[in-house]
Amino acid sequence: MPPARLMQTMKLEHLLILAALAAAGAARAADPSCSAYTGPRTTALVELYTSEGCDTCPPADHWLSSLFSQGFRPDQVVPLALHVDYWDYIGWKDPFARGEFSIRQRKLAAMRRPVIVYTPQVLLQGQDFRRWASDDFAEQVMRINSRAARARIALTIRAVEPKSIRADLSATLFDPAEQKNAAVYLAAYENRLASEVKAGENRGRRLEHDFVVREWIGPISFGEGLKLEESRALPLLPGVDRKNLGVAAFVQNRATSEVLQALMLQACKS
């Protein structure tokens, strides 16, 4: 083969190899284990306001952890545990508590009469739900799931780094009338957390938790449009196990507290 023809053949083979590598990289980036999006029906958001300083909270923590083992699926419920800090004064500082969760709980309670703030408190779709330990919970979740979705959410986890988890978020409203009051919230959560409590009402107990919100971003408004796209790095504490991490997002009406849609995604596999 003439040298010029041989050179052209080698260049063509090189380009084909590069194209194949690029295609393989794109396939990995689109790995379904790293992405998720909501369907045509509404997913229920379950918020548990809890504290390691509260002796009636461990049963609720266990209940939240068991939702998927009870048979619920992530497309039916998105569970989040938000540890509040107003129990810290009795002698045990909850290592997972954040003041902003206490503020959120009070703000949501202020939208209802009477104003109710307590632990453990379960909010289902943004509203106080005291019958969480009964069969009523499953019935209410079924009702929520039967409703047509009022928003669409897509999540992609791009990377889990030593100090942050990087995620892309897309949210779309279906009704322009929702745009004024709708906002998106993004949370990084962690499973399989435990503490040896040395003071307070749970002194001497080992407490275990799942779906604990570790980082929180929001509210993020839609601005002038019906679609919102964000790329965010959610900070992580040192030493987290990536197998126990995930990201959740939901769209909520800030005027009524009603949750329009929710989504959760476990961290990508290596």
* Low-confidence stretches of the chain (pLDDT beneath 70): 1-33, 270
Look up the domain containing 236 and give its range.
34-266
Please indicate, yes or no, if residue 262 is contained in any of the structural domains: yes
Phi, psi of 57 (to 5 degrees): -80, -35
Domain assignment present for residue 22? The answer is no
pLDDT digits (tens, 9 = 90+) for 137-160: 999 999 999 999 999 999 999 999
Please report whether residue 6 resides in a domain: no
Distance, in Å, from the CA atom of 151 to the CA atom of 77, rounded to the nearest integer, reads 16
Write the pLDDT tens digit of every residue in 17-73.
Answer: 344 444 344 333 334 459 999 999 999 999 999 999 999 999 999 999 999 999 999
| Separation of alpha carbons 51 and 56, rounded Å | 9
User: Would 29 be classed as within a structural domain?
Assistant: no
Is 5 part of any domain?
A: no
What is the structure's pLDDT at 241? 80
In a domain, 147, yes or no: yes
- Cross-strand partners of 208: 194
Would 10 be classed as within a structural domain? no
**Are 181 and 251 in contact, with CB atoms under 8 Å apart?**
no
Structural domain count of the chain: 1
pTM attached to this predicted model: 0.86
Residue 254 φ/ψ, nearest 5 degrees: -70, -15
Does 155 reside within a domain?
Answer: yes
Token representation of residue 260 = 């329009």
Q: What percent of the chain has pLDDT over 90?
A: 78
**Cβ(167)–Cβ(235) below 8 Å:** no
